[in-house]
Structure 1
């Protein structure tokens, strides 16, 4: 008799949809990441300098980590990714300001 074993991730609900405030924070992280990414690309076009690579890279990392939160099934994984997103967004904001001062 064959047992029907399903992978736990196929039956579990992602953490993002278990907590009521997480989807709002998730979309807020996307919005801030896109804003910093767009400002950095605009700054690169307006004031060409190699220093714009840092905020572009950090904001892209924030967007990647934020996307990964959507598919996390464990709370500790979601928490670590959320901290990484927050650190990357703060870093992207600081690096965007620094790049703007240096490139001008």
Structure 2
């Protein structure tokens, strides 16, 4: 049941990444230049109150964490982030095969 839920969540995230890629591609074609939505901009536009509260709580607890790690991670494109996490969830949801089965020779 957990593998099914993980695979379903992975497929949703992968689809979201593909949709974000299509939106960025459409905006780039219409604008005549490469326009990419970063994770920071996407979160700030989608859920502004949650983004601000997470930013203030992380910056208050550890300035190093927010300034170096999170600011670098927030510069990734939304499509790459969602697609990468979704692909990882799909890969990790596969069942491991036993290598020592005698009928698989």
Q: Same fold by TM-score, threshold 0.5 exceeded?
A: no
TM-score with structure 1 setting the length: 0.42
Higher relative contact order (CA 8 A, sep 6+): 2
